[in-house]
Amino acid sequence: MLKRTIEISRQAAHLTTRHKQLQLKREGEIVGSVPCEDLALVLVDHPGTTYTHNALIALLDANAALVICGKDHLPKGVLFPLSEHLEIVWRIDEQTSASKPMQKRLWKQLIQAKIRAQAANLTAGSVPHKKLLNYAKEVKADDTTNREAVAARLYWSSWLVNCETPDSVDHFRRDRDGDAPNNFLNYGYAILRAAIARSLVSAGLLPAIGIHHRNRSNAFCLADDLIEPLRPLVDARARELYFAGHTDLDQESKQVLLDLLTETVTTGDQSGPLMVAINRMTNSLVQCYQGKRKDLEIPVPCISADTEACGS
């Protein structure tokens, strides 16, 4: 079953529960009700929202993540359950015992997939597209030659070329504090990061123990590793919004980015929603830690320069 994501942003609401249903109330009246077990993520972007303790417990019991946004409308924090996975101690031991060669091999796979996904966002057959595919082939274990950074410079300089009018180039600089469409990228990445962190905890892994990223003050190093090949999915939606004339992170643009979690992608020989594919990627990581497989199952877009349409 595909779990749902809901957003509270236009009006303040009071979240409570009754008979395992998350209820949204305004002025004492119920305006919405969803079974807690159907929820994967609840995003709150209104400062007047209130919660009962039981509502928070019900969300945690249902393995749902609660994402809280700040004044800039970007996620500031995530509440998700401490894993009750039956094998959590073994999983953590396997994770922390992962060998350096394994970690270097997995990082190579993630970066190769990221560069290929970036190439898929560019015009097929163009010079930047061909160069990115070559860069992906050149990635070494642990990306010691830093193909990721080389590819990023080329990718972002080509990213805002409108495929329909390729002569119109808008020079773009990726900057978290920059103008649109940077705001769309920030928001989309944050949502995706929260979804990945939720999946990791559900699998009994520690999000703070990364494959490549290491930072004492970062509780989501592993999520920051796994998000890399999925960032271009956000990029594609952010660019669509920008080309459609959107510059503000308003209700419509946020919903488009939030809906990314239900976008159909391919993982191995299967296709389905991104939220489900993230769980498959996480489970493949667990199997790598256990020595049962060597390669990650990394989601890719259903339609790109390098993949066929889903279901074809």
pLDDT at residue number 170: 57
pLDDT per residue over 8-24, tens digit each? 888 889 999 998 899 99
Residue 168: pLDDT band with limits 50, 70, 90? very low
| pLDDT, tens digit (0-9, with 9 covering 90-100), for 198-214 | 899 888 888 999 999 98
Residue 1: per-residue pLDDT: 56
Determine what percent of the chain is predicted with pLDDT higher than 90. 67
Considering the chain, what percentage of its residues have pLDDT values greater than 70?
Answer: 91
Q: What is the pLDDT of residue 312?
A: 43
What does the mean pLDDT of the chain come to? 89
The confidence score (pLDDT) of residue 86 equals: 59
Q: Is the pLDDT of residue 248 over 50?
A: yes
Predicted local distance difference test score (pLDDT) of residue 166: 47
87 compared with 35, residue with greater pLDDT: 35
Between 132 and 11, the higher pLDDT residue: 132
At 177, give phi and psi (nearest 5°). Answer: -100, 10
Report pLDDT for 201. 86
Mean pLDDT, range 96-114, rounded to an integer = 97
Res 219: pLDDT: 85
* pLDDT tens-digit readout, 169-195: 456 889 988 899 999 999 999 999 999
Which pLDDT band, with edges at 50, 70 and 90, does 161 fall under?
Answer: confident
Give the residue with greater pLDDT, 149 vs 88: 149
pLDDT-derived band at 77, boundaries 50, 70, 90 = confident
- pLDDT digit string, tens, across residues 208-237: 999 999 887 788 999 999 999 999 999 999
Mean pLDDT computed over 131-150: 97
Q: Which tens digits make up the pLDDT trace of 288-297? A: 999 999 999 9
Q: Please say if the pLDDT value at position 78 is more than 90.
A: no
Decide which of 301 and 273 is more confident: 273
> How many other C-beta atoms can be found within 10 angstroms of the C-beta atom of residue 220?
20
Query: What pLDDT is stored for residue 256 in this prediction?
Result: 95
Whether residue 273 is preceded by a cis peptide bond, meaning omega within 30 degrees of 0, is no
Position 84 scores a pLDDT of: 61
User: Which residues, including other chains, have CB under 8 Å from residue 84's CB and lie 6 or more apart?
Assistant: none
